Structures are given as C-alpha cells and as structure tokens.
Chain A
Amino acid sequence: MVFIFGFNFPEQTLVKKSLQTFYGIGPQVCQRIMARFHIHKTAKVGGLKNAQVLDLNAELSQMKIENDLRREVQDNIRRLRDMGTYRGRRHAMALPVRGQRTRTQTATSRKLNKIERGGSGQIKL
C-alpha cells in the first residue's frame, strides 16, 4: 500500500487511476501532474520511487482539490444565491441555470444544482 495525499492505494493500482479518484483531478490535470514528475502513463503506484511519491504528495497538497475545491464551488454558488441573482435562485431550486429548457431533461440539474454541491472524490460529503 502506498500513501498518496493521505489515502492508501494498493501497489498494483495505476498512478493515473489513483490520482483521478480525487475531486478536482481529471484526465487533463492528471496528465500534467504525471508529466511534471516524469511518471509514464502505465506506471503502477507500487513502481514509484520514494522521491516521486514525496513530490506527488507535495504537489497535491499545494493544489486546491477535494474539500478545498468543494468549498470554493459551494461558496461561489452561495454568493450567487445571497445576492439574489437568477443563477443563485436556479441553483437553489435545482433547475437548469443557463437557460436550458425545463419541460423535459432536467435530470442533471436536479442531481447537481444545489447549494451544498458535493461531487465525487476520495472524501464523501
């Protein structure tokens, strides 16, 4: 087991896969981080050198991911709502924010548009 950003990953997990479990790291960001520390795309967590793991941890702790990022997103939505903007209201009502139709197909907005927006990641809200 290897510790990355405070979480345990089995040795045979791909580095790419394990990084993308964090809220705020998708394919693009993951690719950038891996390129930065010269980790090839099929590298396994167990195959990383100690220095690389330390670098990775340092980099991840610098980044705004997981709860910090969630908080930022939530703050942005809350600000809109507190100002009484249309976008804020639409978020609060779990309706589409950017002018989409509401007659049908609002499943995504009903799922996502709320003040306490969580998303997926290592830490579950």
Chain B
Amino acid sequence: MSSSICLRRLPQLSSESSIHSSIGSRNLLSSTQTSSFSTSTARFASPLMKKKTGQVAAPKRGAKTLNVKKGRGGSGRDTGRKPAIGERKALRKRIVLSNTNALEVPTLQDLTKDNVLDKAVEGKVMGIPGEVVDALRAVEAFKTSQGWSLFRRPAALMRKETVQIAELVKQVEAGEAKAKQTIRKVLVGDKMSGKSTLVLQGLMIALLRNWVVINLPDAKDIVLGHTEYAPLPGSTPTQYYQETYTATLLSQIAKANSEILSKIQVTSKPALPIPTPPKLNLLKLAELGAANPEASWPVFVALWKELTLPGRPPIMMAIDNLAHVMRNSEYLSADAKPVHAHDLTIVRHFVDHLSGTKTLPNGGIILAAETKSNSPACPALDYSIQLAEARQLGREVLPEWNPYKVVDMRVMECLRNMEVLRSNGLSKEEARAIMEYYAASGMLRAKVDAPFVSERWTLAGQGNIGELERASVRARI
C-alpha cells in the first residue's frame, strides 16, 4: 500500500501538529498524533486522560453503586463454606484404591498363600486379595503418591526385588524352630524406583503367610514433635515414649493382624497400669492399649513380649522414610536440648532390631526404606549405605568417610552391619508385563510391542517404575 504522505515529511508533520494542536487541524495525522516510532505522545497523554475520568460526580444519595472493595459486608466478602477441622488433611491423606473407569483385567490372578513364594510369579502382575488390601490399608502401607487410584483394583508387579523378599520370607520360614533367622534389609534406590511399594509388597507377602505385621508408615511422623511425649520412668539415659503415637500403632497392629492375634492367648501376666480382664487374647490386649493411650507403651511392651515367646508367628517390621529417625528429633528434653530420635522408645525398639542388637526369636524380617523425595541430609546413613553396597559387591576398596562431615556416632553404630537391597529399574520383560497390564486396564491406549516398550523404558530412565507409569499412564505424550 502506498502512503498518502511522503515518509520523509513524517517527523515534521507530527511536530507541526503537536505545536498547532489548538488550531483545528485539517490533516489526517492530527487525529492520532502518534507515530509508530515514537510512543512518547501517547504516554504523556494518558495521565491527563485518566485524571479526567477520575473526576466523576459522586453518585446521588440512594442510588445503587457497584462497590467492589474488600471488607466487612462488602460484595468481596468470602461467603463460601470454610473447611471443617481436619477436612483438608483427610482429603490430602485420602487413599483411593479403585478407579471405576478403568477396565477389569480378566487375566489378573490373585496372590494366595501358596503362590506368593513361588518363583513362577516373577515378572507377572498379580492382584492383591481383598483382606490383604484391608490390612495394608490399616497399616497405612498405601501412599497417596502411588498410582493405585488409576486401576480397577490393587495389583502389583512381582519384580525381581519382590521375589528376593519372598525368598527371604521362605528362608525365615524354613529355619529350624530353635534358630530362626532375623533378616534385616534397608531398601535403597533412585527416586520413584518403588522402594515404598517394595515395603508394601513385603508386608503383603508377610500378611499372606500369616506373619504378624508391624509397620511404621512414615518415620517423619514419629520425630516431628507433633504428638505427646513423656520421659519413660526409670530409664537411663532418659528415653521418651509417645503415648498417642503408640496407641495409634497398636490400633493399626490390631486391625491388620486381627485374625492371628485373636487366636493367641496372653500367657504371662503383664503388669499394666490399667485393669485387665482375666482371659485376654493378644487382639484384646492391643485394642486395650489403643483405647487407653496412657497405658499404650506398657501394652506395646507386653504385646511384644507375648509375640516373642516360643511358638509364635514370625514378625515383619517395616519403616519408611528411614533418614528421619537417624538424626535429632524435634522433641526437647527437660533442659531444652534436642532429643535424639534413637531415644524415642518406638524408634529405639525398631533400631535395636535393625542394628541387630536384638533379634526376633521366632524369626522375621526388618525392612527399612529410605526416601529420596523428602528426606533430611544424613551423611552417616548415606555413607553406611555406600559401605554396605561395596561390601555386598565384594569390592576391595571400600569408601572412606569424609572427615569434614559431622559424624553421628549413634547412627554409624546402628548401621554398622546393615544389608542393602537396591531397587533398580525394571528389566524390559518386567516393563512389558506392567505395560501390558496398563493396556489391559484401558489406561494405556497403544499397541504394546517391543519398540514401544523399549521407547518408554528408555524414557523412564532405564525402567524406573515410577517414571514408567508417569510416561505411559499419567502423561499422554
């Protein structure tokens, strides 16, 4: 388009028009007075314009005006319902284990007491039977970060590491009655590599094999300083017990193991600070402790004593988020010094078994999982893991402690002889099995063939299961 005004005259024109703006201008540019290369006219003009709009006469009395000011009685007031106490937390912690939109997988088999220790289930996705799901839910083994809400019902891949845990269970059960083994394992691995799910699977196997299951779902809750605590009378150095937490733990134990515990009668006479009925089974005992928080710790001790008598079932104890109990807790002692997490009775109890100072007379497994997403720095734990791995791999050169880091001797002592189970990425066969399950559930709409599996396996950082789920089910790439 050709311009009607000579472009060379443009600067002059605009300056002229600004000078003679009072004289009624007849040329075309006068109406806009802006040039594409100069913004100053428009910028300097705008405040004046704004002032003009501000000087509006006050509304007449009685006339309705729009008042958008925030404050009392104004239209800006939030009239919505405030969430009730605990409502938001309940929503945050809600565990959804079913998705009615997902398809039922007809080929999905359930795990049973017999097939769970079978080698044949390796690399297959197996359903978790209903009663075990209830028990796992009771011990809070399901986490909100896991993808249970994506599928019709809970099922899990029996990966290599799961089968290793099953082997350990077999090993404990095969032990002779007098010399039952206590196996201790710390689960380590990358972020989203399925450490918590492995703990869950460990608990699942134990529940299927009629073991007693005790789970500390999140170590952070123990040391966070949000529940009541009190010094344990007669303990040197002072230990602290948490009555509310212990009561919750007892109720979880009672719910998850109700069938086994109800069959076992209390044989010794525990000295409890509360009146007890004469004929007591272990389930009643645990429920008694859950109902009376002030007696929860003595009840836990009594329960443990009963469980470790000869002829009782093996025990599976698990903890998640291990690093939190390997440092000072948020609790304070009477002289306002931080209490080491190992001085809390529950943690002490667990750590004694993890370190091997105490063993389970009827055999059992102690599982501890570290976390990569919410864990405090714990150099002693990191070093112990490195050392244990190097030892397990039979390396000649062991890693050395960095002398510039502060050493927590209690942690070092406790983790001196620990054993590590690393949860690596899945193999391609395992990845294929789980992706076929995704596809059968209708959550992955693609043809699961070797190139596709290979692509997703690579995208997921060599088969990291969390990333695999993210790449194939959660994200539609």
Contacts and interface: CB of A to CB of B under 8 A. Distances in A.
B335 A40 contact: no
Interface in A44-62: 47
Interface string A32-75: 10111010111100010000000000000000000000000000
Given A31-B332, A31-B336, A38 B230 contact: yes
A42 B229 CA distance: 12
Nearest to A12: B85
Chain A contact residues (Cβ within 8 angstroms of B): what range? 10 to 19
Q: Is the interface of B mostly helix, strand, loop or mixed?
A: loop
Nearest to B336: A35
13 contacts: A34-B332, A35-B332, A35-B333, A35-B334, A36-B336, A38-B229, A38-B230, A38-B231, A38-B334, A40-B227, A40-B229, A40-B331, A41-B330
A43 B330 contact: no
A17 to B, nearest CB: 16
Interface residues of B, number: 15
Given A38-B240, A40-B226, A40-B228, 7 more contacts: A34-B332, A35-B333, A36-B335, A38-B229, A38-B334, A40-B331, A41-B330
B175 interface: no
Contacts of B336: 31-32, 35-36
A42 B333 CA distance: 16
B405 to A, nearest CB: 28
Interface of B: 225-231, 240, 330-336
Contacts of A42: 225-226
A-B complex: 10 closest residue pairs judged by Cβ atoms: A35-B332, A35-B336, A42-B226, A32-B336, A38-B230, A40-B225, A41-B225, A36-B334, A38-B229, A40-B229
A36 B333 CA distance: 7
Contacts of A34: 332
A34 B226 CA distance: 13
B228 A43 contact: yes
Nearest to A38: B230
A120 B334 CA distance: 28
A36 B321 CA distance: 29
A82 to B, nearest CB: 38
B329 to A, nearest CB: 10
